């Protein structure tokens, strides 16, 4: 099984025995002693059916040091739940101390193996190699994915055991290391869910669920992995703005090692004593967290039952009743798609699938004020729009006869490109916009779209904000940032509010991280799911492309959107059943699921769904 290399080192055949009836593949690597210090490669594993589990072979007697290292690396990419085979390549002490769960390092290709010439002799009792490669990403102990760059270099030390005379690794690399294709085969991204703690939900209304994507091993009881992950709590990056309804210390009941739904698609989750003090409503929220999470993993679970430590049932929740406890972006099906027509009015099409566009009720649909961009609140009762010269931001009700008041924000930028970005609404009903004025670049939020704008702190921002889109959960924000070299990148930030600082809250966007590291110049973006965005941009040295990206910077499974020429803006709904819409050289076009791009109108621009 090893990592995936395209390098120039000599390739070794790999012995494989497949037991198709059992759905198991056993692999062992053949590697001979390197006769020079050249970089060696670990064979790429052939693609396997997702239902086939793959296990590595243990070390053979009298295997040379190079074969021990290669066999260990291959074992890291197996479906062995506790890496028992990989530990057989280690000394007893190293096997006890090694912590594979602490991290997984992803390389562009499999790790190269370089001989340490100072110890590269079999007639000694010690041998050393160095593993090298180009880093792509790291999955930490919380299963959180982070893109990385730079070079990977880790020593691997071996010793000849005195009693057996066999070579074993006594200094393994930290955690697990593998190539990108092996990572994609072995791991899957799954959203686990917590509840927003700063969205200001009204009492007795469903709380807002926030997706926290993590990576788990695909064929190593992913369901139980995800339940344990939810119980442990949110990842560090998201933990400041979400809460879990599970009492602190909640875990699976002692002795429970695996969870399996019954033939009625119900999963029973036995919990320890810490969970027993939860009340009925809290238990409903706990079950909702698990149900949202498991539905993201597999459609085979539609009911969750939580058990107390004594075996009695705390609560049972199905998918229909989960919506009474919490809502999430992918549940909010918009009533309309909105865009600007040839008269620069705000118009709408029912459900995004109709063909006839009608002006919105109110002043923004009357054409008195020509517009360059617009955003519609999540309840679709209010809209905000930037004037045609991008200098002024207006807010108006979407009701017949509604008047348009004075501008709520004005920019002093000298050119259109130095003025206001398109606005965006969050789940609280607050309005966000950035001013690109070089003399005073700033990100602003207006509570409920009215009053004086609050300047938002964005520590660590390196450049000028060119586009703003707030997630449906109201705690994450996507920013297109233009840097000094005029290239634009897509960054995700965490929204934190301090409402105790006086009459005007202090709002910050913290810990910006890249969501599209492979694109060197981003044109436009939109949220397209609970933790997914659709992005148009240019790869290094390439042409414009369109793709889906995860908020953690990884690439989700599934096909990218079909190619489209000259994309200027994108509109996607977090309800993934609705069509993707774009403004391109062909006007307003849309792409329903499973179909190709279709023209909606030739003379139109700036399409948006609510948000």
My answer on whether 163 and 222 are in the same domain is no
Q: How far is residue 574's CA from residue 415's CA, in Å, rounded to a whole number?
A: 33
User: Does residue 308 register a pLDDT over 90?
Assistant: yes
My answer on whether 178 and 253 are in the same domain is no
Asked whether residue 307 is domain-assigned, the answer is yes
pLDDT over 70 for what percent of the chain? 89
Cβ(527)–Cβ(611) under 8 Å? Answer: yes
Structural element, H or E, at residue 217: strand 207-217
My answer on whether 565 and 522 are in the same domain is yes
Q: Which whole number is the average pLDDT over 123-145?
A: 93
Rounded to a whole number, what is the distance in angstroms from the first to the last CA of the chain? Answer: 46
Residue 230: phi, psi to the nearest 5?
-60, -45
How many structural domains compose the chain? 3
Asked whether residue 373 is domain-assigned, the answer is yes
Nearest alpha carbon to residue 209 among 230, 228, 226, 188: 230
Asked whether residue 4 is domain-assigned, the answer is no
Structure confidence by residue, pLDDT tens digits, 347-361:
999 976 777 899 999
pLDDT of residue 13: 30
Query: Which letter, b or e, does each residue of 374-408 get, where b requires 16 or more Cβ atoms within 10 Å of its Cβ?
Result: bbbbbebebbbbbbeebbbbbbbbbeeebebeebb
pLDDT tier, 332 (very low <50, low <70, confident <90, very high otherwise): confident
User: Does residue 302 register a pLDDT over 90?
Assistant: yes
pLDDT of residue 29: 43
Encoding tokens for residue 578? 């609705």
Q: Which whole number is the average pLDDT over 105-127?
A: 82
My answer on whether 388 and 498 are in the same domain is yes
Structure confidence by residue, pLDDT tens digits, 88-98:
999 999 999 99
My answer on whether 315 and 393 are in the same domain is no
pLDDT tier, 11 (very low <50, low <70, confident <90, very high otherwise): very low
My answer on whether 343 and 367 are in the same domain is yes
Burial environment of residue 135 by CB neighbours within 10 A (0 to 12, 13 to 18, 19 or more): middle
User: Does residue 38 register a pLDDT over 60?
Assistant: no
Q: How far is residue 315's CA from residue 317's CA, in Å, rounded to a whole number?
A: 7
My answer on whether 33 and 103 are in the same domain is yes
My answer on whether 581 and 511 are in the same domain is yes
My answer on whether 363 and 498 are in the same domain is yes
Structure confidence by residue, pLDDT tens digits, 191-232:
999 999 975 545 567 899 999 999 999 999 999 999 999 999
Cβ(212)–Cβ(194) under 8 Å? Answer: yes
Encoding tokens for residue 358? 């009608």
Q: Which whole number is the average pLDDT over 455-465?
A: 96
pLDDT tier, 402 (very low <50, low <70, confident <90, very high otherwise): confident
Q: Which whole number is the average pLDDT over 78-96?
A: 96
pLDDT tier, 595 (very low <50, low <70, confident <90, very high otherwise): confident
Asked whether residue 192 is domain-assigned, the answer is no
User: Does residue 14 register a pLDDT over 70?
Assistant: no
256: domain range? 197-327
> Dihedral angle at the C-alpha atoms of 89, 93, 94, 99, nearest 10 degrees?
120
Q: Which whole number is the average pLDDT over 485-489?
A: 93
Structure confidence by residue, pLDDT tens digits, 146-159:
999 999 999 999 99
pLDDT of residue 505: 80
Residue ending a domain, choose from 268, 293, 327: 327
My answer on whether 322 and 372 are in the same domain is no
> Of 22-31, 297-306, 329-338, which one has max mean pLDDT?
297-306
For strands 126-139 and 145-147, give the pairing.
antiparallel
pLDDT tier, 512 (very low <50, low <70, confident <90, very high otherwise): very high
My answer on whether 335 and 319 are in the same domain is no
Within 13 Å, how many C-alpha atoms sit on residue 416's CB side? 9
């Amino acid at each position: 099984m090893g990592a995936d290399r395209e390098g120039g080192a000599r390739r070794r055949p790999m012995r494989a025995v497949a037991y198709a009836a059992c759905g198991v593949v056993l692999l062992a690597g053949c590697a001979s002693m390197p006769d020079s210090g050249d970089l060696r490669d670990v064979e790429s594993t052939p693609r396997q059916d997702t239902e086939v589990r793959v296990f590595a072979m243990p070390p053979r007697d009298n295997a040379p040091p190079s074969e021990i290292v290669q066999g260990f690396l291959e074992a890291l990419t197996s479906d062995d739940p506790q890496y028992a085979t990989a530990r057989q390549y280690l000394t007893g002490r190293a096997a006890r101390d090694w912590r594979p769960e602490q991290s997984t390092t992803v390389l562009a290709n499999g790790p190269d193996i370089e001989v340490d010439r100072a110890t590269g002799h079999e007639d000694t009792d010690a041998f050393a190699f160095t593993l090298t490669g180009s880093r792509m990403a790291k999955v930490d102990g919380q299963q959180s994915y982070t893109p990385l760059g730079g070079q990977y270099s880790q020593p691997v030390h071996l010793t000849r055991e005195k009693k057996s005379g066999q070579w074993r690794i006594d200094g393994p690399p930290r955690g697990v290391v593998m190539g990108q294709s092996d990572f994609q085969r072995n791991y899957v991204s799954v959203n686990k869910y917590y509840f927003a703690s700063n969205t200001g939900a009204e009492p007795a209304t469903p709380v807002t669920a926030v997706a926290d994507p993590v990576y788990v091993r695909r064929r190593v009881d992913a369901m139980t992995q995800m339940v344990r992950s939810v119980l442990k709590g949110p990842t560090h990056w998201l933990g400041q703005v979400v809460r879990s309804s599970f009492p602190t210390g909640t875990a699976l009941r002692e002795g429970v090692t695996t969870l399996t739904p019954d033939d009625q698609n119900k999963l029973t989750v036995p919990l320890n004593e810490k969970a027993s003090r939860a009340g009925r409503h809290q238990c409903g929220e706990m079950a909702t967290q698990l149900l949202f999470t498991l539905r993201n993993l597999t459609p085979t679970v539609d009911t969750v039952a939580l058990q107390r430590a004594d075996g009695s049932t705390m609560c049972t929740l199905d998918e229909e009743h989960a919506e009474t406890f919490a809502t999430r972006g992918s549940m909010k099906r918009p009533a309309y798609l909105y865009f600007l027509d040839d008269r620069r009015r705000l118009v709408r099409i029912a459900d995004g699938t109709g063909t006839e566009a009608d002006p919105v009720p109110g002043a923004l649909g009357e054409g008195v004020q020509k517009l360059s961009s617009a955003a519609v609140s999540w309840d679709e009762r209010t809209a905000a729009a930037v004037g045609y010269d991008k200098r002024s931001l207006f807010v108006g009700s979407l009701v017949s006869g509604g008047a348009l008041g004075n501008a709520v924000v004005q920019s002093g930028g000298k050119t259109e490109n130095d003025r206001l970005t398109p606005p965006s609404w969050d789940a609280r009903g607050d309005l966000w916009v950035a001013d690109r004025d070089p003399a005073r670049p700033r990100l602003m939020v207006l509570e409920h779209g009215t009053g004086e704008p609050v300047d938002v702190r964005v520590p660590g921002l390196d450049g000028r904000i060119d586009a703003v889109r707030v997630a449906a959960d109201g705690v994450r924000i996507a920013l297109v940032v233009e840097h000094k070299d005029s290239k634009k990148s897509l960054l995700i930030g965490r929204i934190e509010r301090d409402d105790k600082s006086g009459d005007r809250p202090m709002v910050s966007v913290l810990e910006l991280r890249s969501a599209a590291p492979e694109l060197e110049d981003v044109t436009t973006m939109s949220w397209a799911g609970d933790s997914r965005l659709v992005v148009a941009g240019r790869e290094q040295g390439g042409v414009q492309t369109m793709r889906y990206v995860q908020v953690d910077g990884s690439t989700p499974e599934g096909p990218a959107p079909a190619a489209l020429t000259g994309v200027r803006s994108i509109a996607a709904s977090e309800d993934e059943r609705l069509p993707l819409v774009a403004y391109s050289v062909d006007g307003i076009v849309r792409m329903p699921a499973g179909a190709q791009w279709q023209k909606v109108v030739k003379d139109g621009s700036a399409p948006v769904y609510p948000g």
